Amino acid sequence: MSTHDGISRRRVLGMAGAVGSLAMFGSASSALAQALRRTPDQILGPFYPVVKPLHQGADLTTIPGKPGRAAGQVIHVMGRVINSHGQPVQGARVEIWQANTHGRYTHPSDTNPAPLDPNFEGFAVLTTDAEGRYRIKTIKPGAYPAGPDSRMRPPHIHFDVTGKSNRLVTQMYFAGEPLNDKDPFLQGTGAGKERLIVPLRPPTQGLEPDSRVAVWDIILETG
């Protein structure tokens, strides 16, 4: 069993247990409906890459040909792309981009004075497998100033997911970030915002001892 399979299976069992408990109170059907609602949209943002790196693997912490590693907290982000019926979306294209640990994007329009990281480009493209799974190794992004009032945006990762029938542009946020409560884009999602917020958990066997794991399933309407 792979690490990803172990995490996914435990998460599925946990959800099944939760649904089973709710069934005792006649709430299982509503919980399942909540779990399978389409992942909320978020803005594309101004920093979608204009120049994409030639290497587009799933490890964003290193750049081929460079000896260094990106600065910051290593995180493993993984999950499944599924449709509203819980079926895996095989072959979905998943684009991911983000700021570095200092809150700076590798983008010519980013005027944030925070430093660039020569070992971090912050972009990846991958394709989901037969079970709809995706997985990346990256750095937890930093917060950064945005807008005319320079308010701080909370750490987040952008996702652009294209299935056979649907496309979804969204963002994944991290649990426990105080800036989440003040972010207009996240708060503007309303009740659905909780489905965009993911806890960082300790690593499982085989991962770096000081890394963290985020498990996030992305739900398209039909796939």
End-to-end CA distance of the chain: 27
153: annotated active-site residue: yes
48: annotated active-site residue: no
Cα torsion angle, 78, 83, 156, 195, sign: negative
Residue among 144, 173, 195, 212 flagged as catalytic: 144
134: annotated active-site residue: no
E runs forming strands in 74-122: 74-82, 93-98
Burial of 117: CB neighbours in 10 Å, binned 0-12, 13-18, 19+: buried
Contact 167, 180 (CB under 8 A): no
Contacts of 215 (CB under 8 A, 6+ apart): 7, 8, 11, 78, 79, 198, 201
Residue among 153, 173, 195, 212 flagged as catalytic: 153
158: annotated active-site residue: yes
One-letter identity of residue 110: D
Residue among 105, 107, 133, 135 flagged as catalytic: 105
Residue among 158, 173, 195, 212 flagged as catalytic: 158
Tokens of 49: 């890459």
156: annotated active-site residue: yes
* Percent composition of the chain: helix, strand, coil (DSSP 3-state, to 5): 20, 25, 55
One-letter identity of residue 13: L
Please give the positions annotated as active site: 105, 144, 153, 156, 158
